[in-house]
Amino acid sequence: LCSFIHSPKGFPKLKNDTFLRAARGEETEHTPVWCMRQAGRYLPEFRETRAAQDFFATCRSPKLCCELTLQPLRRFPLDAAIIFSDILVVPQALGMEVVMVPGKGPTFTEPLKEVEDLLKLRQKVDVTAELGYVFQAITLTRHSLEGRVPLIGFSGAPWTLMSYMIEGGGSTTMSKAKSWLYRHPEASHRLLRLLADVVTDYLVGQVAAGAQALQLFESHAGHLGPEQFQDFALPYIRDIAQAVKSKLKEEALPLVPMIIFAKDAHYALRDLAHAGYEVVGLDWTIRPQEARAQVGKDVTLQGNLDPCALYAPKEKIGELVKKMLEGFGTQRYIANLGHGLYPDMNPEHVGAFVEAVHAHSRHINKH
């Protein structure tokens, strides 16, 4: 597995900074590309590495996280790596138990049912004590990448984390979590504030450990309407960007680009563009031109090929990528899928997607 050099600050020099340049709005020779869930079950080597391991035990092993993060980069010329972890490590840090149930997914043994249950959560979280294993994985992976591409750190956003903590797992309606927003608005804000504070410290810790960019996943934005998003999601998304940036400055850490990905939140794109993030990630349900018109010229867009397009024949994937690049333009843009890769996808089709982005964007830039 990965070899470790003991000197967190002596990181290897970055050789391919295309992703970071695009995130900051600088010119790039080709459009950078990475995939959400690029370290995942669609790779046979991932399934082998993970075979005998409990999912969260894997998350707590810096060595395994490093290995899983590097696997897709051995296969594909991706322009960024994203650390292998899970958004639910944050509720774990607050003292909740989460287990991975085969065929069902992440499950909380005791979800939050009543407002009183908030008292069971740790009110002050020492992120180094609780989530130090993620920081170690980041440092180890940053060295092991040998400067090939930048490493992205991430966290779930407060509303998405809250919804899991109340639902106790995945849900098609999020009705239990949403009922809190309507019945217990004050308690909801208390919980969201607590989560925002932990997420802030967690993201700052990731940069200190070596992350070169950060993505905040508001994966359950689509369950909220515009008003609830304004009240219960957007203020915390804004606060996190602001607090992370001011803490990075205070601690003399690099000001890394930040990405907000709020799935199905087209109604909030204008607000998200002004929320303090350099990059706004898009799911596949919006036209590139429409997104650009809403966010303006000052942020970079990321996305948004329908993940299921990767089931198409390779030539068709190439055509869809070309159309996507024509829609977004090749600058101030990071190519990605509109959500994560699915476990039954063919790795060769992932390769076709990555190569098509590079080839078509270079061609467009030349002409």
Amino acid sitting at position 208 = A
CA distance 333 to 350: 19
Q: Is 334 left (phi over 0), alpha (psi -120 to 50) or beta?
A: beta
Which residue in the list 17, 21, 164, 292 is annotated as catalytic? 164
Regarding pTM above 0.85, the answer is yes
Q: What is the pLDDT of residue 22?
A: 98
DSSP state letters, 213-277:
EEEEEETTGGGS-HHHIIIIIHHHHHHHHHHHHHHHHHTT-----EEEEETT-GGGHHHHHTSS-
Which residue in the list 37, 60, 148, 332 is annotated as catalytic? 37
Which residue in the list 24, 75, 86, 362 is annotated as catalytic? 86
Our answer to whether residue 164 is catalytic in this structure is yes
Q: Are 151 and 145 in contact (CB under 8 A)?
A: yes
Which residue in the list 17, 42, 50, 148 is annotated as catalytic? 50
Beta-carbon contacts of residue 342 (< 8 Å; ≥ 6 apart):
42, 307, 308
Task: Express each pLDDT in 67-88 by its tens digit.
Answer: 999 999 999 999 999 999 999 9
Q: Which fold has domain 20-366?
A: TIM Barrel (3.20.20)
Q: What is the pLDDT of residue 122?
A: 98
CB atoms within 10 A of CB 17: 18
Mean pLDDT over the full length of the chain:
96
Q: What is the pLDDT of residue 312?
A: 98
Beta-carbon contacts of residue 132 (< 8 Å; ≥ 6 apart):
none
Our answer to whether residue 37 is catalytic in this structure is yes
Ordered mean pLDDT values, 10 residues apiece, the chain (367 residues): 53 98 98 98 96 92 98 98 98 97 93 98 98 98 98 98 98 97 98 98 98 98 98 98 98 98 97 98 97 96 98 98 98 98 98 98 97
CA distance 59 to 84: 7
Our answer to whether residue 86 is catalytic in this structure is yes
Our answer to whether residue 50 is catalytic in this structure is yes
CA distance 95 to 124: 11
Element holding 293 (H helix, E strand): helix 288-295
Q: What is the pLDDT of residue 3?
A: 46
